[in-house]
Amino acid sequence: MNQSNSRTHAIVIGGSLGGLLTARVLSQHFQRVTILERDEVPEQPEARKGQPQARHLHGLLATGLQTMTRYFPDLPQALVNGGAVMGDFAEQMQWYTYGGYRQRFHMGVPATTMSRPLLESLIRERVLALPNMRMMDNCGVNQLLITPDGQRVTGVEVALRHEGNQLLEVLADLVVDCTGRGSRSPQWLVEMGFDAPPVSEVKVNVAYATRLYRRLPTDPRGTLWTLITPEAPRESRFGAIFPIEGDRWIVSMGGWHGDHPPTDEAGFLAFARNLPAPDIYDIISQAEPLSDITPIKFPHSVRRHYEKLRRFPAGFLVLGDAISSFNPTYGQGMTSAALQAAELDDLLAKRTPPEKLALAFFKRTAKVVDMPWQLAVGEDFRFPQTSGPKPPGVDFINRYVSKVHRATLHDPVVGLALLKVMNLMAPPPSLFHPKIVWRVLRGKRPSIEQSPMRQPAAAGD
């Protein structure tokens, strides 16, 4: 074990979605894979103590679902069997923004709405069913084990919490940190004599609150996912209501830079009533609450630029939110992690030497992260209060993209182009294709001065 080309054992630190997807990939290339999870992992779908975001609404982008289905072909059907709502991405949307509703159309791309615990439990069930897979929960990783010269990671030291924090050394040929935003990898690197990665931090001061409601199976609105997003900087609030398993609605509402929702009954309803469209308030003002109102704060997006490091220990990688933690209002995190895991799969399939794996992987993940980071940060810088490294030309791009948003209210061609970018199916520059620019700048626009009304059904509904 731990020879330069050995693929006997791999360790994944962190058993959330990014860790599970990474473990699935590693199972194809290593004889054994062990997932180390700090929390106790329940058998039933349930948000764990170390996953505060799991109680909130999650959007799974189309590219994320496609990538997960590549590794778990039965996942879409399993989601439906579990009560998730599946449909065409653009036919299923009820999206109010920039003074109107985006026009619906048939996109030919499936979308699903479900709770994060359901999705994660289905993936965990499939990962742990693999014959070479093992999960150790209730154990914390204290430190990395390294070779005497400090150039290679050989495993981890863990504390077994259910056995009085007994220490155990677990050896491996590859260790992957999937512990998320609170990753200790930068600290570990410094302790080993390596540089910590440069960090980009964009302060957004976003907060939102979430509540579950009972959904009547006969409610025709239960086939739609609904978003209300602001015309920044004039508006700063957002809201979303998705149908999920168990005949429930999940509602998350929030805002940027201090425009945060109250967590009392009356205040939560008033926040919904004051959104620029009535869809969410119309539902929750009549629905039975099934949970408390749970708040969460997201002060800043963080990107750790591992791709800029020239030296990195062999036998060690970092993946998912431990590399980049995006503003969650854009729903990019799960998809970014899935795409990063797919890049690792490709590098391992090409038998990339262990001493070259990390730098090659981080170059690839930088390309994966570039697109969602550019989209999220660009939108966040519509607000003058946002601070941090601002991409060049973002103000010019935002002025044009505002016109794109308005065009989607009546033009399905522009709508398709924008949704492909938002779903990480096409690069942002595709919005500047001459055909799209012409439609954006010359297209006929209906008057949207009236008070917002519920969007009519799409043709064929």
The residue-averaged pLDDT of 66-94 equals: 96
Report the pLDDT averaged over residues 206-211: 96
Supply the DSSP string of 38-95, one letter for each residue.
Answer: SSPPPSSS---TT-GGGGS-----HHHHHHHHHH-TTHHHHHHHTT-EEEETTTSEEE
pLDDT for the residue numbered 164: 79
Which 3 state secondary structure label does DSSP give 124?
helix
For the chain, the structural domain boundaries read: 9-60+118-198+305-376, 202-299
**pLDDT, tens digit (0-9, with 9 covering 90-100), for 86-124:** 999 999 999 999 999 999 999 999 999 999 999 999 999
Q: What is the pLDDT of residues 312-342, one digit of tens each?
A: 999 999 999 999 998 999 999 999 999 999 9
pLDDT over threshold 50, residue 304: yes
pLDDT at 41: 85
Residue 372 above 70 pLDDT?
yes
**Residue 423: is its pLDDT beyond 60?**
yes
- Check if the beta carbon of residue 430 is closer than 8 Å to that of residue 417: yes
CA distances, 89 to each of 96, 182, 420 (Å): 15, 33, 11
Q: What is the number of H-type helices and E-type strands within the chain?
A: 12, 18
pLDDT value of position 1: 42
Bridge partners, 143 (sequence order): 157
pLDDT of residue 290: 97
pLDDT at 368: 97
> What pLDDT is stored for residue 5 in this prediction?
72
Are residues 369 and 323 in contact, defined by beta-carbon separation less than 8 angstroms?
yes
Strands (E), 152-287: 153-160, 166-171, 174-177, 199-214, 225-228, 237-244, 248-255
Name every residue whose Cβ is closer than 8 Å to that of residue 429 and which is 6 or more positions away in sequence.
Answer: none
Say what the pTM is. 0.92
376: helix, strand or coil: helix
Q: How much is the average pLDDT of 342-357?
A: 95
- Condensed to tens digits (0 to 9), the pLDDT of residues 124-182 reads 999 999 999 999 999 999 999 999 999 999 999 999 988 778 999 999 999 999 999 99
User: What are 388-407's pLDDT values in tens digits?
Assistant: 999 899 999 999 999 999 99
For residue 155, the cross-strand partners are 145, 171
Least confident stretch, 8-22, 158-172, 271-285: 158-172
Q: Which two structure tokens, joined as six digits, stand for 151?
A: 């150039």
**pLDDT exceeds cutoff 90 at 457:** no
Mean pLDDT for the chain? 92
**What pLDDT shows up at residue 448?**
44
Q: How confident is the model at residue 42 (pLDDT cuts 50, 70, 90)?
A: confident
Q: What average pLDDT does the segment 192-213 reach?
A: 97
Domain range 202-299, its CATH number among 3.40.1280, 1.10.860, 3.30.70, 1.10.3470: 3.30.70
Answer positive or negative: Cα dihedral of 181, 301, 253, 94. Answer: negative
Preceding peptide of 353 cis, ω within 30°: no
Residue range 292-298: mean pLDDT, rounded: 95
For domain 9-60+118-198+305-376, is the CATH number 3.40.1000.10?
A: no
With a cut of 60, say whether residue 32 has pLDDT above it.
yes
pLDDT for residue 165? 81
Its sign, for the CA torsion 386, 390, 391, 392, is positive
With tokens 């003074």, the residue in question is 99
The CA–CA distances, whole Å, from 269 to 9, 137, 284, 317, 385 equal 52, 39, 8, 45, 27
More confident residue, 46 or 201: 201
Residues 6+ apart with CB under 8 A from 39: 15, 48, 49, 50, 51, 137, 138
